[in-house]
Structure 1
Amino acid sequence: MIQYIEQILPALLSGTKMTLSIFFWTLICSIPLGAVLALGLVSKFKPLVWLLNLYDWLMRGTPLLLQLIFVFYGLPVIGIIFERYDAALFAFILNYTAYFAEIFRGGFQSVPRGQFESACVLRLSYGQTIRKIIIPQVFKIVLPSIGNEVINLVKDSSLVYVIGLGDLLRAGNVATARDVTLLPLVLVGIIYLALTAICTIVLKVIEKRSSVWR
């Protein structure tokens, strides 16, 4: 059994690399975009709010799997063609930006209005108010919810198999079908558990350090 694990482990680790790449770039892009969209959602410019709410409704109201299929197989019909990796990343960023935007909107709305009024008294600009006063408070408020989405993202990354990307789950499925054994899928499960455990530990450390903003 050890020899078999050593035989299939390189393929699983290669799939893990793809999974981590989707995970990393989705987080890097969707969290800041979500924060920016949240500012638009709480703005007083009604056409922008309506447009962003429509985007939020579409992204959160349809399955990520369907969005992946639409981006890779549907958009070429109108001449928009993505490579497999780019299609997966584009769909993931669009989807998770909507979720993070909703999380940040709740955070912004939970900050007392008096914080903005105090900033005006101190003659801080809107940008300074958001950056120096509001964002640190919002970050502390939304951190647990962001943590849940981060864990979900680790697992959702397995959906890229539907467009033929060689991620961790696909590598396990290929080995299982070829060798007629469930051991590769057991190893896939162990790797996913390890990834979620690492994310959980990192998030707890960040949450503990952010307690300075209480």
Structure 2
Amino acid sequence: MAAAVIWARLTESFWLNCQLFGLTLLFAIPLGLVVCFGSMSRFTPLRGAVKTFVWVIRGTPLMLQILVIYLGPGLLGFASPWPSGGSGRLIAAVVAFAINYACYFSEIYRGGIESVPKGQTEAGQVLGMTRSQIFFKVTLLQVVKRILPPMGNEIITLVKDTSLANIIANKDIIMMAKEYAAKGLIWPLFSTAVFFLIFVGALTLLFDRLEKRLEYFR
């Protein structure tokens, strides 16, 4: 088989990884903020429930979570909520990834919020600002500066974790490369590293630039 054809198929398969990456961030970033607020709630039962959920998600393998979310409803005797075919497998993977990364992001958000000196919040209250005004006008930009490095690490990890979606037969670039390896072609396996290195390299440059632009918050 011509190398050009193999490269084209690897590129097409990598598009699934990119879709999973983009959709996960789209849902996990705002969901993580919601989970963060739940874990910081003054309502003790809600705070306890959210923290327990985060503990379970962070304490179990993402691969297991993908399997449970995709296969769980059917194994429990319920109708599968996922559409048939590849679209259903992709949606299930996005749900699993979004929940998993939202829990990790929530802890990063919480650490960033709690790192802002409380004196600034108290100063805002003295000036008559509401809690939402204090958060968006005083706390938020400082939080962004503090959480950018750990968020960048998690997002770069997400790029590589997208390969775990092949556990439910999502035909990503790793699965495609493994199929060629089974036919005696080893170079497609190593070539997948090029795709990931380029993607991660671009993200690294992006986060480096963002960190430099936020240096005035020191």
TM-score range, shorter chain: over 0.9
Rounded to whole Å, the distance in 2 between the matches of 1:39 and 1:112 is 18
2:25 to 24, 27, 35: 27
Q: Which amino acid aligns with 1:53?
A: K
Q: Which runs of 5+ in 2 are unaligned?
A: 83-87
Instruction: Name the TM-score, length of structure 1 as normaliser.
Output: 0.94
Report deviation, 1:8: 0.4
Separation in structure 1 between the aligned mates of residue 167 and residue 14 of structure 2, nearest angstrom: 16
Runs of 4+ in 1 over 4 A off after TM superposition: none
Name the structure 2 match of 1:73: 71
Quote how far apart the aligned CAs of 1:147 are: 0.7
SS state at 1:194 partner: helix
Confirm whether residue 210 of structure 1 aligns to residue 176 of structure 2. no
Shift, 1:40, TM fit: 2.1
CA separation in 1, counterparts of 2:134 and 2:191? 48
1:137 correspondence with 2:142: yes
* In 2, Cα distance between equivalents of 1:166 and 1:196: 21
What is the CA distance between 1:91 and its match in structure 2? 0.2
CA distance in 2, matches of 1:75, 1:203: 39
- Once residues 212 and 30 of structure 1 are traced to their aligned partners in structure 2, the CA distance between those partners, rounded to angstroms, is 28
Q: How many residues align?
A: 211
Are the equivalent residues in 2 in contact too, given 1:42–1:109 (CA < 8 A)? no
| Percent of paired sites with the same residue | 35
Q: Which structure 1 residue ranges, 5 or more long, are not aligned?
A: none
Counterparts of 1:12-161 in structure 2, within 5 Å, are: 12-78=10-76, 79=78, 80-82=80-82, 83-161=88-166
TM-aligned CA deviation for residue 125 of structure 1: 1.4
Shift of 1:184: 0.4
Residues 64-95 of structure 1, C-alpha deviations (whole Å, 9 max, x = no match): 00000111111223424321011000000000
Residue type matched to 2:9 in 1? Answer: A
RMSD between superposed Cα atoms in Å: 1.3
